Chains A and B, each alone.
Chain A
C-alpha cells in the first residue's frame, strides 16, 4: 500500500471554527488531491496540487483552502466550518497526470 497517512482520523468541531486536515505521503509523488465523499454525491475533488506551492481548485473548492510547502505534506483548511462540510475527506497521491491515484484512510469530520 502507498505510504499515505491522514490526521486526524476523526474530528468533531463547532460551526464557525477553523479546521485543518493533514495529508502526509512517503512516496515522493508529485500530485496530491483532496476529495470529499458524501452519500448521494459520491466522490468530489476539492483541490489538488501539482508540486510544492502549486495548487489549483477542483469541483467543490468554495469554503476550502490548501497549502503545500513540502512535497510530503498537503494541508486542507476550512477557515470557518459549516454543517454542510460534514463529510469524509480523502487525500490521494499520484506520480503524474493520467496515472493511478492512491488514497489515504480518510478523515471523518463532523461539524455541529
Chain B
C-alpha cells in the first residue's frame, strides 16, 4: 500500500501557481515530509521538505496542515520546465530511506 495519496495528474497554465496536494495520514511525529520531482529518465530532484512548519525556498513553498496528515506543494509561477512527476513522501531517514508512490504528473500548459 502506498504511504501517500496524490492525484495521478494535474494541469496548470504557464505563469500560474501550481498547487499539488498530498495526503500522508500515517506519518509519525518525527518524520519529515519530502517533495521530489522527476523528469522522464532523470534522477529524482529534491524540491523541499519540512516537519511541521511551512517552508519556502527558491523553488517552492510547502504548506503542512496542523495535524500533519496532509501537505501542499506550491510552485508559485509555473514554467514549461516544471512539467514532471511530483512525488510526496515522508521519512525519518536511515533505514527508512525514501519511498515514492506513483506521484502526480504535472503538465504545464503554454
With both beta carbons as reference points, the residue of chain A lying nearest to B95 in the complex is identified as A56
B1-57 residues with Cβ-Cβ distance < 8 A to A are 2, 30, 32, 34, 41-46, 49
Contact A100 B46 (CB under 8 A): yes
How many pairs of A and B residues are in contact by the CB < 8 Å rule? 65
Residues of B within 8 A of A43 (CB): 44, 87, 98-100
> Which of A12-20, A69-77, A78-86, A102-110 sits within the interface?
A102-110
Q: Which of A44, A59, A97 contacts B94 (CB 8 A)?
A: A97
The minimal Cβ–Cβ distance linking B5 to chain A, given in whole angstroms, is 13
Residues of B within 8 A of A45 (CB): 95-99
Contact A42 B42 (CB under 8 A): no
Most chain A CB within 10 A, of B30, B41, B49, B95, is at B95
User: Cα distance A35–B91 when bound, in Å?
Assistant: 15
With both beta carbons as reference points, the residue of chain A lying nearest to B41 in the complex is identified as A106
A4-58 residues with Cβ-Cβ distance < 8 A to B are 31, 33, 35, 37, 42-45, 48, 50, 56-58
With both beta carbons as reference points, the residue of chain B lying nearest to A48 in the complex is identified as B97
Q: How large is the interface on B (under 10, 10 to 19, 20 to 34, 35 or more residues)?
A: 20 to 34
Main secondary structure of the interface of B (DSSP, over half): loop
With both beta carbons as reference points, the residue of chain B lying nearest to A102 in the complex is identified as B46
Main secondary structure of the interface of A (DSSP, over half): strand
Chain A interface residue count, Cβ-Cβ cutoff 8 angstroms: 28
B93 within 8 A of A: yes
Contact A98 B43 (CB under 8 A): no
Q: A99-B93, A100-B34 are in contact. List 16 more A-B contacts (CB 8 A).
A: A37-B100, A42-B99, A42-B101, A43-B44, A43-B100, A44-B99, A50-B94, A59-B99, A90-B43, A97-B92, A100-B46, A100-B49, A101-B98, A102-B46, A103-B43, A105-B42
